[in-house]
Structure 1
Amino acid sequence: MDHQNARHCFFERTGPSDFAATPLVQGAWNRTEQHIAPALGLIAHAIESDQRQRREDALRLGRLSYDILGTIPIGPVAVDVAVLRPGRTIELVEARMSYDGRPVVLARAWLMQTFDTAAIAGTSFPALPPPGAIAAWDMSTVWAGACIGSMELRREEIGTGRAKAWLRTNVELLVGEDTSPTANMLALADIANGIAVRMPPERVAFPNLDLTIHLLRSPLQGWLGLDTTVSFGPNGIGLTHSIMHDSAGVLGSIVQSLTVRPR
């Protein structure tokens, strides 16, 4: 591999289902572990690649739900994909990411046939101000790690646990391969949990156990917009909820379950 290029990507392929993480995946909670965001994008890419190999028609991703089974050291991972419910117009696909033979992420995706519903399309979710209307924010003032450091962010803090933000990165998800706007967006989605901090992370840990994304349509390449609310319950359980946007408007939603642990 070209090590110069490796400095500008999150992963490199080392085999049909094997990948090596680069130092740019370094996490926010622990610098010896991967930030889960790029890994989730890699899993989405594996699901899309598997579908292209299996069928000539393209089903559209409607929902992708990830369960995060444990932390991932910065190193090699494997991603395996299986079809659980085959179908002509709808499929349910499962992907498993493993580190050193240990499952670390399980994902299930509903893939759907598309129909022309442009005449009845609409939503009541409010629009986000465009990126140029929101001030730049250095996320590394709150969060550590190379992954966060690679992000460009703009953020408007609305209140405790409420923020509107736009983010993007110039780091490739997987060097030497075309990755879709959907996979690239999913490599950013998990960062939603860090943009509307309810309590400083040095006082309260609130990592997410999962991430579920619902899409109204395929995203456009570029900025990902987030209208995010973070809530903590009274018994150590929290919720991060975000409405996603891109330059064309409302895109879908992200929901993350949190384990909230005062330090």
Structure 2
Amino acid sequence: MSSVTPAFFTAEGDHFVPQREAANPWFDHAVAGGPISGLFGHIAEQRGLIGEGFAISRMTIDILGIVPSAPLTATIEPVRIGRQVRLNRINLKHDNHVVAQALVQAARLLDTPPALPSNGYPAPEDVAPGTFLANGSLQRIVRTRPLQGSVTRPGPGQVWLALDADIVSGTLASPFVKSCVFADFGNGVGSATRAAEWSFANLDVGIHFLRDPHGEWILVDADTIAGGNGHGLARSTMVDAEGVFAIATQTVFVAPGSLTPRMEANARSAVG
């Protein structure tokens, strides 16, 4: 058995090359939202967008159409570099065309009174392992300890997640970068519809960080609300062993659904 750690991307010169683990469950030959979010987190961390004495307070990611499973490059554009706040835009490009972008906001660290939600969740070691995800490639690299729900059933969901993969091969993914990946899971963890009937693909990801995450396990507590007009909002509370560290949102595009053959096979295996 290979000892090489799986990865969503490999770095080849200035390019990030998607691997099979990054496959999009909705579209063939495309990259999924979680790996895209994780790549933005990796770039922010590796290229110094956080900065000494600062912490990420917000990251908003817009997916500007289908991100192809092809070499991608990243450019960084400063938007605001102030004493208290730094804001940078990361553009992810294919063939010099922007396919996704992220605004990364970092705020100066100060010693201030905390106002965190109470942590009423059981610790990951107190929750039994179980099958929660329906995507075959993710099942190989994401361990799950479910508390409530499943991606195969509509309704709120709660699940501890641990990622056994690098975002970019050869670079150990930090808890911050892994949390960027899992922030994209909310529309599946807490879906409001069945994928065979109504799609729930997300158009964006927004993450408000209250503090830096720590440890191996991250819990996503998610639900989805919708107004019956073609779009909705997935909302996720993100938790580590120390408590709540972020709130994430996704705009969900709702349309008559159709599962790809790969999704149908994964869904059958998950419930069979």
TM bucket (normalised to shorter chain) is 0.7 to 0.9
Q: 1:32 to 1:135 in 2, by over 3 A?
A: farther
Number of the residue aligned with 1:15:
13
Moved more, 108-117 or 150-159: 150-159
1:39 and 2:33 aligned: no
Unaligned ranges ≥5, structure 1: none
Q: Distance in 2 between matches of 1:257 and 1:75?
A: 25
Moved more, 217-226 or 175-184: 175-184
1:213 and 2:196 aligned: no
Moved more, 253-262 or 167-176: 167-176
Number of the residue aligned with 1:128:
121
Does the CA contact (< 8 Å) of 1:46 and 1:81 recur in 2? no
Percent identity over the alignment is 26
Cα-Cα RMSD? 2.3
Number of the residue aligned with 2:263:
none
Number of residues of Structure 1 aligned to a counterpart in Structure 2:
253
Does the CA contact (< 8 Å) of 2:8 and 2:166 recur in 1? yes
Match of 1:63 among 52, 58, 67: 58
Unaligned ranges ≥5, structure 2: 258-272
Match of 1:259 among 253, 258, 268: 253
> How far 1:31 sits from its partner (Å)?
4.1
Match of 1:154 among 145, 150, 154: 145
Q: Distance in 2 between matches of 1:172 and 1:154?
A: 20
Number of the residue aligned with 1:30:
27
Q: 1:24 to 1:183 in 2, by over 3 A?
A: same
Q: Which runs of 4+ in 1 moved over 6 A?
A: none
Does the CA contact (< 8 Å) of 2:59 and 2:102 recur in 1? yes
Q: Distance in 2 between matches of 1:153 and 1:97?
A: 30
Does the CA contact (< 8 Å) of 2:237 and 2:247 recur in 1? yes
SS where residue 66 of structure 1 aligns? strand
1:81 and 2:72 aligned: no
1:229 and 2:226 aligned: no
Q: Distance in 1 between matches of 2:119 and 2:170?
A: 38
SS where residue 233 of structure 2 aligns? strand
SS where residue 183 of structure 1 aligns? helix
Corresponding letter in the other structure for 1:20: V
SS where residue 204 of structure 1 aligns? coil
Q: Report the TM-score when normalising by structure 1.
A: 0.87
1:144 and 2:135 aligned: yes
1:114 and 2:109 aligned: yes
Does the CA contact (< 8 Å) of 2:205 and 2:251 recur in 1? yes
